[in-house]
Amino acid sequence: MAIKQRLSASVDEDLITAGQAAVESGRAESLSAWVNEALRRQAEHERRPCALDEFIAEYDAEHGAFTDAEIAETTRRMRARAITVRPAA
């Protein structure tokens, strides 16, 4: 189990209300748990672009960077397979 630390933070009133509503409706165990999950999602959200940058750098180091021709060909193939969705008239 992760070690917990007490945190003091100023939070917008509407967010406190939303967290309390989540607890009251059973969607969260406690306000602390609700905030902890929000912080976890934010940390993951910020980590993903860094992980993608690292993956691309490793790929480029091993295989070389994509050429403009490869990018154009992939774009052409993706557009050919795309499904166009238009609202009904």
**pLDDT digit string (tens) for 2-31?**
899 999 999 999 999 999 999 999 999 999
Token code pair at residue 21: 């509503």
Whole-prediction pTM value? 0.61
Indicate the average pLDDT of the chain: 93
Domain boundaries, the chain: 22-81
* pLDDT tens sequence across 47-86: 999 999 999 999 999 999 989 999 999 999 999 999 888 8
8 Å CB contact between 19 and 34: yes
pLDDT for position 89: 66
CB atoms within 10 A of CB 27: 10
